Structure 1
């Protein structure tokens, strides 16, 4: 397994922060300047997505030329080629583009390193508040706060308890997810956009995030290792096993993201 050094992690941090500055330069302009488009799947694409993607992909390719990149905004190599990757980067250069368009600030940059289907490093950066989270397998999960790395932890919970703090998507809440939430014991529902939902779990601010709707691997890869190292999990809804990456189909199955479940 590749073990990134602290200097490697700080370099990736700087890459994310530079990409975040590019995103904010677009965010602060009039919407007419965003070059807003609709992709084939009807999701939005802006100049901010494109600029962030260019900064991240060029920097990673420069410093780690041997590691291929899978990004939401890049041409994806066919699985016949990808299946032989030992390592790859999984990138979402602007996670939560709908939230960006709605100007609510709930968007982030996701950068993950995957080894044979398992995430071994993840970094998430929220440009508006400049919050930065990272984790490496076996080394804990951290939030950069006032120049120091502060360890973060998920809360313990039970599915049977009253008042579970349940996260849901601000822009993608589906009827099946709503029905599940309503089956819980007096849940407290909390809406939040992008991968910041997973960071709320990793910091003990919520208990579960059920997702019975479509997501892509770049939406969850970086958050997964951060949440795992904080004591939580992202589990396939059916198998109850951790999500896997660089699959033939880059769509995720339905999943349950959660804090530390009491046994």
Structure 2
């Protein structure tokens, strides 16, 4: 029985719908992945491919039946920003476009539901591997997408067990990372692209993900929902939970840290703040 078959309530039905949308988007992404990839630059300098727009269109088609506003990365890039209100979907149809172009498989489809500034549901699906991570009010779950069919869900939980592992991005880096690792006695680095960084923490494979470089809400909302559902935390450098709906800053996130638990997140945030001065 798949995860979608076990969702009796309206709230859980939104999770099932997001999961279906992610599966459909993943299929289109892999069609593009199978042939030569052409990328162009957006106004902010980031790359975009035909897969980004095609995947977002499919996701929007699935989600629009709910009547809930949709904040989509490619829509925003095109100047389409709906009135969001207190409840809206956040969509990154292809997170990790650089990884997609490199063909390393570490790219994801991200769909989240935000309520009152907090991501309460998230789906992160890696099209190349089929790995799928889901978080909502029931907790966090892992399953595999095999040609559009989901395996039975397995419960996930963040872990604070030693050794301390930190997730570092392959496509981004910061000089302060070494200082943070020393301050927190980090034993190992685990490098992975896209929102899979949140998912490694949610599965207990790592404990810490500091972010010293810019992100937008669509980059983080689904991953944050999954991690928090698994018992982890995502905080900004003031130690407060990272929130959403930042119209005034073009939906840019401040620097943040994701961690296996709130005390570790707040400790790391304090160290990051100190290091950055």
TM-score range, shorter chain: 0.7 to 0.9
Deviating more after overlay: 42-51 vs 6-15:
6-15
Structure 1 position 209, deviation (Å): 0.7
Looking at secondary structure, tell me which structure has more helix per residue: 2
Q: Quick check: 2:233–2:262 contact (8 Å CA) kept in 1?
A: no
Q: Give the secondary-structure state (helix, strand or coil) at the position aligned to 2:190.
A: strand
**1:35 has 2:38 as partner:** yes
2:63 counterpart residue number? 60
2:117 counterpart residue number? 117
Counterpart Cα distance in 2 of 1:212 and 1:11 = 33
**1:47 has 2:50 as partner:** yes
Q: Quick check: 1:156–1:261 contact (8 Å CA) kept in 2?
A: no
Structure 2: unaligned runs, 5 residues or longer: 1-8, 145-149, 265-277
Q: Give the secondary-structure state (helix, strand or coil) at the position aligned to 1:13.
A: helix
1:168 counterpart residue number? 168
Structure 1: unaligned runs, 5 residues or longer: none
Q: Which runs of 4+ in 1 moved over 4 A?
A: 76-79
2:261 counterpart residue number? 260
Q: Quick check: 1:156–1:262 contact (8 Å CA) kept in 2?
A: no
Counterpart Cα distance in 2 of 1:119 and 1:262 = 20
Query: Deviations 1:197-225 (Å, cap 9, x if unpaired)?
Result: 11000000001011111111111101111
2:22 counterpart residue number? 16
Decide whether aligned partners of structure 1 residues 59 and 261 sit closer, same or farther in structure 2, where only a CA change above 3 A counts: closer
**Matched pairs, number:** 247
Cα RMSD after superposing both structures: 2.0
